[in-house]
Chains A and B, each alone.
Chain A
Amino acid sequence: MVAPPERRNRNDAVRSRDEALVRIRRATVAMGLTASVAAVGIGVAVAGASVHHGTTATTAAVGSVTTGATGATGATGATVTPATTGATTPAAITPTTPTPKATTPTPKATTTSGQS
């Protein structure tokens, strides 16, 4: 006869679950901060590109970046709204001169490879 598995002490189970939640919160906050730093970086880069192309920069917020999850224990994620960077979104960039495309004509097939 096989002995029944030992049940874990309820207090131990609750403690380990709490520790796991703390780890999740820390990781989520770190992800949110990383995302906000990346968003600001993209904004700066786009602003630079806009100036380079001589377009009119439309001042706009890059947007809010929300990461993390809201669980039963409360809000665990970080909601980060970067400050206005004075950047344009990529979609707002319009080059003054369209880039000409160098194209090689696709050859018309003159024969077919297949089974015989």
Chain B
Amino acid sequence: MTVRAEDAQVHAVRTTHAIGTVATVVVDDPDAADAALALLTLELDTLDRACSRFRPDSELRRLEHRGGRPARVSPLLFDALQTAFDVARRTAGIVDPTIGSALVELGYDRDFASLDDRVDHADVSPLPAPGWWRIVLDPSERSVAVPDGVHIDLGSTGKAFGADRSAARIADALGCGTLVNLGGDVAIAGLPPVEGWGVGIAEHCTTAPSDAADMVTLRHGGLASSGTTARTWTRGGRTMHHIVDPWTGAVAPTTWAQVSALGATCVEANGWSTAAVVWGEDAPGNLIAHGVTARLVRSDGHVVTVGSWPGAVDRPRPVTSGEGNWEE
């Protein structure tokens, strides 16, 4: 199909801050933009109340204090947990939602905004995750039983889950093509623009799209980026980041500064991008084995692409470029 550049649609972008990150909604109907932002804000507030690890009044936190007794939960929390378990299963436990205690031990025990400049000299004794399989989900009763001592963190899949869910809800309610970006986790819903949704790839999701190092076009599915150079803090004289190897409880290796992956949904994309960081040197091979398309940036800046990611393989990063503003 031949499409003229002037036929390209006009998009409206709205941005807010929620669930500890930057939230953006893009719609292909400028008249629907404000309503889309209102829906996104409502969705994320609901998500935060149900799934936050940091809010003592969240449904998730209250669930953890029932001493292992099953409790009926909201459809939202049940879906979020089922999604996290599905990702854990598909990544063979590499992306495990029971890393809550491991993160607390590493020092990530509060909302990141309060943690940013903190330097903690405490010794670190990594705590392996107890394992998602210890939690019992009962779909017939929509109940959940969390054993004592198991601390759930939905930080990995939660954002992607929220992006998929919000995009679908906004597209359904407003009848427009919708893109939702929650801190780099991108989901689309509704009819995409004829030319697709252009999404820039950069080290930080706050980088202007025009300054992005790379760009992909999304027509379906989702895109997510995970990395080891943002959300860092210092503990015991060591730099920590928020991606944990559940088998050891230690921070994942810094082989990759960032991994961006595509998936059938944003949740799937996020599962692979997070798993890739934990896999370290094995990531390209494992991603290929799972048929994943991804872009991996080594800690020295070299870029490796797998699957059908557009562009060349092993493109070195120019030494003159700055962080978050790479030039190909």
B199: Cβ under 8 A from any A Cβ: yes
Q: Using an 8 Å CB-CB cutoff, how does the interface string of B191-209 with A read, 1 for contact, 0 for none?
A: 0011111111111111111
Known A102-B1, A105-B8; judge A112-B207 contact (CB<8 A).
yes
Q: Pick the residue among A105, A106, A111, A116 that contacts B209 (CB under 8 A).
A: A111
Q: Using an 8 Å CB-CB cutoff, how does the interface string of A78-116 with B read, 1 for contact, 0 for none?
A: 000000000000000000000000111111111111111
Residues from chain B with a CB closer than 8 A to the CB of A107 are 8, 193, 195-198, 217
Known A106-B217, A107-B195, A109-B215; judge A114-B11 contact (CB<8 A).
no
Contact present for A112 and B1 (CB under 8 Å): no
Interface size on B, residues (CB 8 A): 51
**Smallest beta-carbon distance A105→chain B, Å:** 4
Complex CA gap A102/B3 in Å reads: 8
Known A103-B2, A106-B217, A107-B217; judge A112-B196 contact (CB<8 A).
no
Contact present for B258 and A116 (CB under 8 Å): no
Q: Using an 8 Å CB-CB cutoff, how does the interface string of B5-27 with A read, 1 for contact, 0 for none?
A: 10110010100000001101010
Q: Pick the residue among B4, B26, B184 that contacts A113 (CB under 8 A).
A: B184
Contact present for B181 and A113 (CB under 8 Å): yes
Known A111-B179, A113-B181, A115-B225; judge A106-B205 contact (CB<8 A).
no
Residues from chain B with a CB closer than 8 A to the CB of A113 are 181, 184-186, 199-202, 205, 223-225, 260
Complex CA gap A110/B13 in Å reads: 8
Interface size on A, residues (CB 8 A): 15
B210: Cβ under 8 A from any A Cβ: yes
Report how many A-B pairs have Cβ atoms within 8 Å. 115
Complex CA gap A111/B182 in Å reads: 10
Contact present for B212 and A112 (CB under 8 Å): yes
**Smallest beta-carbon distance A111→chain B, Å:** 5
B230: Cβ under 8 A from any A Cβ: yes
Contact present for B2 and A115 (CB under 8 Å): no
Complex CA gap A102/B206 in Å reads: 34
Q: Pick the residue among B26, B224, B260 that contacts A110 (CB under 8 A).
A: B26
Q: Pick the residue among B3, B5, B203, B215 that contacts A114 (CB under 8 A).
A: B203
**Smallest beta-carbon distance A72→chain B, Å:** 41
B90: Cβ under 8 A from any A Cβ: no
Contact present for B3 and A104 (CB under 8 Å): yes
Contact present for B198 and A108 (CB under 8 Å): yes
Residues from chain A with a CB closer than 8 A to the CB of B93 are none
Known A115-B230, A116-B183; judge A110-B205 contact (CB<8 A).
no
Residues from chain A with a CB closer than 8 A to the CB of B175 are none
Contact present for A115 and B231 (CB under 8 Å): yes
Contact present for B202 and A110 (CB under 8 Å): no
Residues from chain B with a CB closer than 8 A to the CB of A106 are 195, 198, 215, 217
Complex CA gap A103/B3 in Å reads: 7
Complex CA gap A109/B1 in Å reads: 21
Contact present for B200 and A112 (CB under 8 Å): yes
Residues from chain B with a CB closer than 8 A to the CB of A108 are 8, 198, 209
Residues from chain A with a CB closer than 8 A to the CB of B229 are 115
Complex CA gap A104/B4 in Å reads: 7
B227: Cβ under 8 A from any A Cβ: yes
Residues from chain A with a CB closer than 8 A to the CB of B231 are 115-116
Contact present for B203 and A111 (CB under 8 Å): no
Contact present for B5 and A105 (CB under 8 Å): yes
**Smallest beta-carbon distance A101→chain B, Å:** 9
Chain B contacts with A in 312-327, Cβ cutoff 8 A: 324
Contact present for A109 and B230 (CB under 8 Å): no
Contact present for B206 and A112 (CB under 8 Å): yes
Interface contacts beyond A107-B8, A113-B184, A114-B227: sample of 8 additional A-B pairs, CB < 8 Å, sorted by A: A106-B198, A107-B195, A108-B8, A113-B200, A114-B205, A114-B212, A116-B21, A116-B22
Q: List 24 A-B contacts (CB under 8 A).
A: A104-B2, A105-B5, A107-B195, A107-B217, A108-B198, A110-B13, A110-B199, A111-B26, A111-B181, A112-B209, A113-B201, A113-B224, A114-B184, A114-B201, A114-B203, A115-B183, A115-B204, A115-B205, A115-B225, A115-B231, A116-B183, A116-B184, A116-B204, A116-B230
Q: Which residues of A contact B (CB under 8 A)?
A: 102-116
